[in-house]
Amino acid sequence: MTLPGRFLAWLRDTLLRMFPHATRPGLRAIGRPGPNAPVLLSGNFTLTVDRLTRVLRGRDAWLLVADSHGINVWCAAGGGHLTHHDVIAVLRSSGIGERVEHRHLWLPQLAATGVERRIVQERTGWRVGWGPARLEDLPAFLDRGQRVKHSERLMRFPLWERMEMALLWAPATTAIAAVVLWSLLGATTAFIGAGSIAVVIFAIFAALPRLPLWGGSRWFTYAGGAVVASLLAITADMALHGPNLLHIGVLGAASTIAMLVLSLDLAGTTPLYPSTINTRGNRFDLVLNAERCTGVADCVQVCPRDVLAMDGKLRRVRIQRPDACIRCGACVVQCPEDALFFRFADGRTLSPTQIRATRMNMLGRRAVVLPAKTLSTEDQAAAEAPRRD
């Protein structure tokens, strides 16, 4: 593809990244892979597959593209769109078994919320390992013989990616404001108001690691954004048109509405993709049943936030950074002993079985309702029981 073509494809996929965009699942050859080349797996979100193909240029590998319904790996796995069934299906249907002499598959670490490694291994005979959390780290991972460094297990949200998110949100949000302002106050004020909102959206994403985006305190971020956007727009408008109460009121209202629109996604749940557990508004925390832990540390390998660590002396896992936990559920899903579970602030628990069934649904349609009676004392007893023999 030519450079302008690639840029247009990137722009299209970035602007529309909130919506599924699927590429064909199946087997792809990167470079000239032979029978001993590594086998990597990805979902079939077009943007991801394009980026993978680009970062792996110059290496030889097999890429298995599983059907994640055109959604990126993390959201698809969290929402139940990419599961071990999809991985098993592409392993069996792609013919990869005839192309390679080994049986070692590398999954993206962020698939761990939805793909149970044990089940893939048991049903296919392939050995399954976790690759790095971010695809940019894949070349280094391959170059050092398929070993993941600790830092590559941790999730990062670099500035360029935050700017991409701003690029996703700014046009949609400012377009609404521009139409309303244009119809009420004319083109110049519309341009000033929409421009101020866009500037604030980019500033919010740039400052994201330091701003609250979850819980009640997130409203400080959006209220602050609305105030700054209003002040910018009103100052510029007054310089051009002089003081005008109608302009001040409408620009203030447009900025506030724009920030409310922005808040829909950044809270991790939207009216479009409701997240049952998030929308309960009931805080829950990760709990380790130390009696059950056998120290296999599968949970440590998949945690993107360095919450869990192996305690060498006790030969079992410990929760070392509870406040860093984003409650993605990957550790709970992967633990072979069901030694991890979530407990709500009111004392009820979400057992591993329930978490595997519902997942931490950031984008999916898996809006499984968890009425109070399903969070029963039986589940609580099962989750807190000592290890099964």
Query: Pick from 69, 305, 343, 359: which binds ligand SF4 (CB under 6 A)?
Result: 305
302: CB partners within 8 A, 6+ apart: 109, 112, 130, 153, 330, 331, 334
Contact indicator for 84, 116 with CB cutoff of 8 Å: yes
Look at strands 104-107 and 127-130 and give their pairing.
parallel
Instruction: Please identify, among the stretches 163-171, 230-238, 305-313, 367-375, the one whose residues bind ligand SF4 according to the rule CB under 6 A.
Output: 305-313
Residue linked to tokens 């139940």 = 80
Of the two residues 176 and 296, which places its CB atom closer to ligand SF4 in the complex?
Answer: 296
Of the two residues 235 and 320, which places its CB atom closer to ligand SF4 in the complex?
Answer: 320
Taking the complex as a whole, the smallest distance from the CB of residue 297 to ligand SF4 amounts, in Å, to 12
Site for ligand SF4 in 321-380 (CB under 6 A): 325-331
With residue 188 as reference, give the H or E element that holds it. Answer: helix 187-206
Taking the complex as a whole, the smallest distance from the CB of residue 157 to ligand SF4 amounts, in Å, to 14
> How far apart (Å, rounded) are the C-alpha atoms in residues 89 and 106?
15
What mask of x and - would describe binding to ligand SF4 in positions 64 to 103, judged by CB under 6 A? ----------------------------------------
- How many Å is the Cα radius of gyration of the chain? 24
Taking the complex as a whole, the smallest distance from the CB of residue 285 to ligand SF4 amounts, in Å, to 9
Handedness of CA 216, 221, 227, 229 (dihedral sign): negative
308 part of the interface to ligand SF4, by CB under 6 A? yes
Of the two residues 193 and 304, which places its CB atom closer to ligand SF4 in the complex?
Answer: 304
E-strand stretches of 43-89 = 61-65
Taking the complex as a whole, the smallest distance from the CB of residue 328 to ligand SF4 amounts, in Å, to 4
Neighbours of 322 (CB within 10 A): 12
293 part of the interface to ligand SF4, by CB under 6 A? no
Of the two residues 50 and 337, which places its CB atom closer to ligand SF4 in the complex?
Answer: 337
Of the two residues 198 and 355, which places its CB atom closer to ligand SF4 in the complex?
Answer: 355
What is the per-residue DSSP string for 105-138? EEE-GGGGGT--HHHHHHHH--EEEE--SSGGGH
Of the two residues 234 and 328, which places its CB atom closer to ligand SF4 in the complex?
Answer: 328
307 part of the interface to ligand SF4, by CB under 6 A? yes
328: CB partners within 8 A, 6+ apart: 78, 113, 304, 360
33 part of the interface to ligand SF4, by CB under 6 A? no
277 part of the interface to ligand SF4, by CB under 6 A? no
Looking at residue 45, the DSSP 8-state letter turns out to be B
The three-state secondary structure class of 277 is: helix
Structure tokens at 368: 């499984």
Taking the complex as a whole, the smallest distance from the CB of residue 114 to ligand SF4 amounts, in Å, to 13
Of the two residues 266 and 325, which places its CB atom closer to ligand SF4 in the complex?
Answer: 325
290 part of the interface to ligand SF4, by CB under 6 A? no
Query: Pick from 142, 197, 303, 362: which binds ligand SF4 (CB under 6 A)?
Result: 303
Neighbours of 177 (CB within 10 A): 26
251 part of the interface to ligand SF4, by CB under 6 A? no
Task: Catalog residues that contact ligand SF4 under the rule CB under 6 A.
Answer: 286, 302-303, 305, 307-308, 325-331
